[in-house]
Amino acid sequence: MSALSIVGAVDGNVADAGKAIALALGIGLGSLGAGVGIGNIFGSMIQAVARQPELRGELQGIQWPGFALTEAVVFYGLIGGLLAYVLI
């Protein structure tokens, strides 16, 4: 059996596999980035409160919107990856 006939036999499945790998990489990297961002936000919060405890309330007001926006990156990656998987 020649290599050309093998490639021709699995041509559609290879494209689907490539799309699935791209989807998984997109979601995985989006989750990784969000995890790093959230760790950075909370680590900075701990350092800031340790240095100036009297600013804790003001810093928490900044912390939670940053956390929510960073977490939204995961959902943007998920939706973008799913749209790319379905539309391409």
**What is the pTM assigned to this prediction?**
0.69
Nearest-angstrom CA–CA distance, 62 and 2: 63
Q: 39: pLDDT confidence band, cut at 50, 70 and 90? A: very high
pLDDT at position 68: 92
**Ramachandran category for residue 59: left, alpha or beta (phi over 0 → left; psi -120 to 50 → alpha):** alpha
Q: What percent of the chain has pLDDT over 70?
A: 86
pLDDT at position 14: 79
